[in-house]
Amino acid sequence: MNTATSTLIVGRRSWLALRSPLDWAFAALIVLGGVFAFSRYGASMDGYEKGILAFAVPSLVLLGWFWRPLRLLSVLVGAFSLLAIQLYLRKTDDFGADLSAVDHVFLLKYMLASQSAILWMSLLFFLSTLFYWLGFFRRGSGTAEVIGSKLAWGGVFMALLGTMVRWFESHQIGPDIGHIPVSNLYEVFVLFSWMTAVFYLYYEDRYRTRALGAYVMLVVSLAVSFLLWYTVAREAHEIQPLVPALQSWWMKIHVPANFVGYGTFALAAMVALAYLLKTATPRALQIGLIGLPAVLVAVLLLARFTLDLQPETLAGLDGWTRKMGGVLAFLVVCVLLREPLTARLPPLQTLDDLMYKAIALGFAFFTIATILGAFWAAEAWGGYWSWDPKETWALIVWLNYAAWLHMRLMKGLRGAVSAWWALGGLLVTTFAFLGVNMFLSGLHSYGTL
């Protein structure tokens, strides 16, 4: 070892030594918050929940050190969640809080109660999408995209606030009802919306471009639209006791890990759409982007007018025909407005790299979620795998992205082929996420659409 190398190694500062006073102040604040949560709410937690909280404290510190915007988000979510709890605790009942306070306390009614916060989330995500799209058609410094980005952050904040307050509200309804809000379609659509948005915001910061916000926030807005429809049609915002199979600590880690996968797969698909609009030939776009939805609409219309269907089946078919017609109309507009929609996109190499990193991250978490799901199945039903429709389609999703990553890493798959594959993966993932619940019955059928 030469002298220069020795000097370099001895003089190198450790990663912890590089932390600033602000870093340590943030860490101290998170630790104090964790201690407060243990002391105030520990009696309502089981051992696994305490373990999750203990793990969450250092994880949140490290995430805040890794990506600074998470610091302000964490502090604001914690502060406003505590404010909402205190407003509920002004007048207590047998379970510790007066949930009727939402009807007469202004801040709860219009902002801090879980349903109010989630409605604000929906509005902010819609507005964010609108401003991102306006950015494509306005020349200048990109002010519209900046506003869209800030609105997306606001939507993430309100989503997390609504989730935390809903968690508290569930514990106030009655004994053994409280649970982390990831147990039904309403709650997981909130989870999907903010996770997809926050992963996009990270990549927006990482790649220094806001040009992809219109594409990614569009899928978030579609999720929010479904959430609002589901709320009205099924009154899904009402907190319900968990069915026996969901009364497991596995749910607390399996579902969030799953939705890291769903969110990043959706993000990768929308980046793939941007890639294809930028590179594919007009004929390929017409066949791929427009042809497939057009065929699906034709098949649905054919079934509608030729088959003898029950009224409820007919109504569902009409609904899907309208949805697919909307997708077709959107894709036609994208192809027609191809030039302005792609003029401000980052280089193809950046799009390709972002697509790969999103899928790689999602695949890692989806693999973990699948393994955790097998352990949960063994506890709930006595077997690790039963070829239930949900399990089967989860395996199909896993194999799809495993093959995509294999082809990229081993065979150098790049360009339009990988983008078409990533975009098609969204269809597979969507069916595993929603289609199984809608069309197939099985052990995972906990609700109806």
Share of the chain above pLDDT 90, in %: 45
- Is residue 248 included in any domain, yes or no? no
Q: Which residue has the higher pLDDT, 329 or 421?
A: 421
Total domains, the chain: 3
Share of the chain above pLDDT 70, in %: 87
Q: How far apart (Å, rounded) are the C-alpha atoms in residues 22 and 297?
A: 56
- Is residue 129 included in any domain, yes or no? yes
- Whether residues 315 and 399 share a domain: the answer is yes
The predicted pLDDT at position 61 comes to 95
Residue 132 has pLDDT above 70, yes or no: yes
pLDDT grade for 7, boundaries at 50, 70 and 90: very low
- Is residue 285 included in any domain, yes or no? yes
- Whether residues 56 and 88 share a domain: the answer is no
- Whether residues 91 and 39 share a domain: the answer is no
The predicted pLDDT at position 104 comes to 85
- Is residue 218 included in any domain, yes or no? no
Weakest mean pLDDT among 66-75, 185-194, 255-264, 320-329: 320-329
- Whether residues 50 and 145 share a domain: the answer is no
Question: Is residue 61 within 8 Å of residue 26, measured between CB atoms?
Answer: yes
pLDDT grade for 202, boundaries at 50, 70 and 90: very high
Domain that includes residue 50, residue range: 18-66
Q: Which residue has the higher pLDDT, 379 or 150?
A: 150
pLDDT in tens, 336-371: 888 888 888 899 999 999 999 999 999 999 999 999
* pLDDT, the chain, mean: 84
- Whether residues 414 and 327 share a domain: the answer is yes
The predicted pLDDT at position 31 comes to 95
Residue 5 has pLDDT above 60, yes or no: no
What average pLDDT score do residues 156-167 get? 96
Residue 59 has pLDDT above 70, yes or no: yes
The predicted pLDDT at position 387 comes to 81
- Whether residues 90 and 47 share a domain: the answer is no
Looking at 196, 216, 243, the residue that finishes a domain is: 196
The predicted pLDDT at position 58 comes to 94
Q: Is the dihedral of CA 167, 171, 174, 176 positive or negative?
A: positive
Length of the chain: 449
- Whether residues 138 and 38 share a domain: the answer is no
Looking at 196, 218, 243, the residue that finishes a domain is: 196
- Is residue 188 included in any domain, yes or no? yes
Residue 83 has pLDDT above 80, yes or no: yes
- Is residue 6 included in any domain, yes or no? no
Looking at 42, 66, 90, the residue that finishes a domain is: 66
pLDDT in tens, 385-398: 788 888 888 999 99
Residue 302 has pLDDT above 70, yes or no: yes
- Is residue 425 included in any domain, yes or no? yes
- Whether residues 395 and 303 share a domain: the answer is yes
- Is residue 148 included in any domain, yes or no? yes
- Whether residues 62 and 110 share a domain: the answer is no
- Whether residues 177 and 283 share a domain: the answer is no
- Whether residues 265 and 413 share a domain: the answer is yes
- Whether residues 439 and 298 share a domain: the answer is yes
What average pLDDT score do residues 140-161 get? 92
The predicted pLDDT at position 333 comes to 81
